[in-house]
Copies of this chain bind each other. A is one copy, B any other.
Amino acid sequence: MIIVLKPEASESEVDHIIDRLRDLGLKSQISTGQERTIIGVIGDDRILHNQPLTALPGVESVLPILAPWKLVSREFKKEATIIDVGGVKIGAKKLVIMAGPCAVERLELTVGIAHEVKASGAAILRGGAYKPRTSPYSFQGLGREGLDYLVEARKQTGLPVVSEILDTRDIELFLEKADIIQIGARNMQNFELLKEVGAYDKPVLLKRGLSATIKEFLLSAEYIMSRGNQNVMLCERGIRTFETQYRNTLDLAAIPTLKELSHLPVIVDPSHATGKWDLVAPMSKAAVAAGADGLLIEVHSNPECALCDGEESIKPSKFKALMADLRNIAKAVGREL
């Protein structure tokens, strides 16, 4: 860490800063430039993340040198993490497509969609039993019953299932019924929930928060991993910007960036990112071309009657056609599907 001093910093202020650093077990190295004096701090930057150094008199700014995370980083673990979910390998050469309805609604519908997406090549079934909705008057999901429908769909199709958890009190239920526990965008910084899923080794799909930086996203993954659970996959799902033409702005540069900084698999959700079914296909293709390890796509047999997010769901027939296109793109970038 580098501490830049104000031009008018007094000698006693500098001494005081050096004393504070020594108290923290860190060494200082003063370097006097033409217009500013700086203090290089030797020792673990991470100790300093707890310290309000800019509150010290005489300090102009503080520049961190090291990334604030460890376990998630590519520097810590060179080889890519591959997560095995019931035989499906996430993060390997073969792309993994997770598909299904936004919300689980009825048993037959859920099982029907599961059969269709499997036939087109999906490897994981997605479906929300507990739905985080902006309005209290919107459909809130079937809850426990919805999870049971997913379990039944898995039984009939063999597809592992991913579903979103909303409350720490539901952890036992999800450990029992889901194959992958999803942490949604709105809960990316629900740290108690992160700690809770971190205490087991059940795979976690962590979605990027609506306004989370790459740094905050990786730190949330670090929360889970620092509790012991190493089976984390990252999911880019669009960030909030000024543009209102689509629901969010899909940030595809996050894919190569996350893969450079971290060893964790990166999944993309083009459905929630755009909120428009006709943007799902082009954004799916773009995500694969940019290096995603998998996709999370909403598929519904009757979008106009879907109880949640019908606007962004594609029909099974469109999904089938999309899978064919994705296979070609995957090949063009050295991947398989």
A313 to B210, alpha carbons, bound, how many Å?
Answer: 28
Q: Which of B45, B137, B257, B325 contacts A333 (CB 8 A)?
A: B325
22 residue pairs from A and B, CB less than 8 Å apart: A2-B63, A31-B31, A34-B43, A50-B307, A52-B311, A52-B313, A136-B191, A137-B226, A167-B168, A213-B242, A239-B249, A241-B242, A245-B254, A245-B257, A246-B257, A250-B252, A253-B279, A285-B289, A285-B290, A285-B332, A286-B289, A328-B331
A192 to B166, alpha carbons, bound, how many Å?
Answer: 7
A313 to B247, alpha carbons, bound, how many Å?
Answer: 32
Contact residues, A231-289 vs B (CB, 8 A): 239-246, 249-257, 260, 273-274, 276-279, 282-283, 285-289
Q: Which of B33, B137, B241 contacts A65 (CB 8 A)?
A: B33
- Which B residues lie within 8 Å of A241 (CB)? 239, 241-242, 249, 251
Decide: A256 near B282, CB < 8 A? Known: A191-B133, A309-B52.
yes
A31 to B65, alpha carbons, bound, how many Å?
Answer: 12
A4 to B132, alpha carbons, bound, how many Å?
Answer: 28
Decide: A42 near B52, CB < 8 A? Known: A169-B168, A282-B255, A332-B329.
no
By CB atoms of chain B within 10 A, which of A40, A135, A249, A250 has the most?
Answer: A135
Closest-by-CB residue of B relative to A6 is B75
Interface status of A291 (Cβ within 8 A of chain B): yes
Q: How far, in Å, is A152 (CB) from chain B's closest CB? A: 25
Asked whether, in the complex, the Cβ of A257 is within 8 Å of the Cβ of B242, the reply is no
Interface status of A174 (Cβ within 8 A of chain B): no
A222 to B254, alpha carbons, bound, how many Å?
Answer: 33
Interface string of A187-216 (1 = CB under 8 A from B): 101111000000000000000001101111
A42 to B291, alpha carbons, bound, how many Å?
Answer: 40
Q: How far, in Å, is A48 (CB) from chain B's closest CB? A: 11
Interface status of A186 (Cβ within 8 A of chain B): yes
- Which B residues lie within 8 Å of A252 (CB)? 250, 252, 282-283, 286
A49 to B4, alpha carbons, bound, how many Å?
Answer: 18
Interface status of A54 (Cβ within 8 A of chain B): yes
Asked whether, in the complex, the Cβ of B137 is within 8 Å of the Cβ of A49, the reply is yes
By CB atoms of chain B within 10 A, which of A53, A252, A273, A306 has the most?
Answer: A252
Asked whether, in the complex, the Cβ of B68 is within 8 Å of the Cβ of A213, the reply is no
Q: How far, in Å, is A239 (CB) from chain B's closest CB? A: 6
A273 to B251, alpha carbons, bound, how many Å?
Answer: 11
Q: Which of B190, B223, B257, B333 contacts A136 (CB 8 A)?
A: B223
- Which B residues lie within 8 Å of A239 (CB)? 241-243, 249
Decide: A55 near B304, CB < 8 A? Known: A214-B243, A219-B134.
yes
Asked whether, in the complex, the Cβ of B257 is within 8 Å of the Cβ of A226, the reply is no
Decide: A211 near B214, CB < 8 A? Known: A190-B190, A246-B253.
no
Interface status of A316 (Cβ within 8 A of chain B): no
Asked whether, in the complex, the Cβ of A274 is within 8 Å of the Cβ of B303, the reply is no
